[in-house]
Structure 1
Amino acid sequence: MIIQVPALDDLPTLRAIERAAGEPFRALGMASVADDEPPSLAQLTEFQRAGRVLAAYEEPGPGGEGRRPVGYLLWEPVDGCTHIEQVSVHPDRAHRRIGRALIDRAMGVPPMPSRQWGKDGGPVPLTLTTFTEVPWNAPYYARIGFRILPEAELTPGLRAIRAHEAALGLDRWPRAAMRREPGWSG
């Protein structure tokens, strides 16, 4: 697997991955999540130009064929952390550690546009928000080193993200913010 910032030509495939990755939510009675529109090409282009999108690619075949994205991750700087805005893997490629590889790679990405690291010169924490009762969400993230943040530990940026999610109706199902510290190795 190859992980890199995708080319502009690959951005439509990321939207297709997002749509396919949303379908399993339908079986959990979360049709509105399954039907949620993926980021627009304009939004994905902004992430791509800022270097804040990673895509996982299949290894190319012997003749170079078959190289296409199978998963992706969007991130943004939030309160000195690398905040995972979205991580999606095509269901046809599930259970192959692609999501984890993307998340592990994001741990090594400086969170600030200036590409500065944390105060100690090394990686900074990862944060994300997720559904707590969806097996491939919070329980999965807990297995790869994330912990649920109690309300008292939410930063102003995470509070704003959670408020926005609530306004979108995502709090119809239990949600939480999670954090993974640098140095977690599993």
Structure 2
Amino acid sequence: MRIRPVTSDELPVLQDIERAAGAPFRDLGMAAVADDEPPTLEVLEHYRRAGRAWAAHDGDGPPVAYLICEPVDGALHIEQVSVHPDAARRGVGRALLAYAADRAREEGLAGLSLTTFTEVPWNAPYYARLGFRTLEEAELTPGLRKIRAHEAELGLDRWPRVCMRRD
């Protein structure tokens, strides 16, 4: 598996990955998540230009997974990490998170943060296995509170969510 910065011509592929990765949410009764549109090309381009969009490639083919992130309150916040189901269970997501952790260290950031669903097996339980811990309400930084408020506006709080961090 090779990880590298996303190129502009790969942005539509990232949207396809997002749609495919969202489909399994339907089986959990989360059709709204499954049907949610991926980030727009403009949003993905913003992350790409900022140097905050990385893709995992299996050989020389197109991306099979991607991660977008941004610094939030001293940590590198994972905005989205998505793996195409055809590449699932092969350590691709883990590799992308390790790559992001290396970038965070290079930038002097204290670790990684993310928000996620608590009851989705490939969300909070998966991240906990990778060393992330759930943050208590009192530990939430202003930036994380703002992210959670935005998620609530989008209706994501219909299902339990948490903020997690790995130092």
The structure richer in helix per residue is 2
Indicate yes or no: 2:153 matched with 1:167.
yes
Matched residue, 1:17 = 17
Aligned pair in 2 of structure 1 residues 110, 143: CA closer, same or farther (>3 Å)? closer
1:125 paired with 2:142, answer no
Aligned counterpart, 1:64: none
1:159 CA displacement = 0.5
Looking at structure 2, the residues matched to 110 and 28 of structure 1 have their Cα atoms a distance apart, in angstroms, of: 33
- Mapped pair 1:74 → 2:68: yes
Indicate the residue corresponding to 1:156 in structure 2.
Answer: 142
Name the amino acid aligned to 1:133. Answer: E
Q: CA deviation at 1:156?
A: 0.4
Supply the AA of the counterpart residue of 2:108: W
Measured in 2, the distance between the counterparts of 1:173 and 1:110 equals 29
Which residue identity lines up with residue 20 of structure 1 in the other structure?
A
Is 2:29 the partner of 1:29? yes
How many residues align? The count is 167
Q: TM-score, normalised by structure 1?
A: 0.87
Structure 2: distance between partners of 1:171 and 1:91 = 25
C-alpha displacement at 1:54, in angstroms?
A: 0.7
Matches within 5 A, 1:98-117: 98-110=92-104, 116-117=107-108
Deviation at 1:163, TM superposition (A): 0.7
Q: List, as ranges, runs of 4+ consecutive aligned residues in structure 1 with deviation greater than 2 Å.
A: none
Specify every segment of 5 or more residues in structure 2 that has no aligned partner in the other structure, as ranges: none
Q: Percent identity?
A: 64
Offset at residue 116 of structure 1 (A): 3.9
- Show the counterpart of 1:39: 39
Tell me, yes or no, if the aligned pair for 2:65 and 2:82 is still in contact at 8 Å: yes
Offset at 1:109? 1.2
Deviation at 1:110, TM superposition (A): 3.5
Q: 1:94 matched to which residue of 2?
A: 88
Partner of 2:103, secondary structure, is coil
For residue 81 of structure 1, what is the amino acid of its counterpart? A
The separation in 2 between residues aligned to 1:134 and 1:116, in whole angstroms, is: 31
**CA RMSD of superposed structures (Å):** 1.1
User: C-alpha separation between the residues in 1 aligned to 2:107 and 2:158?
Assistant: 37
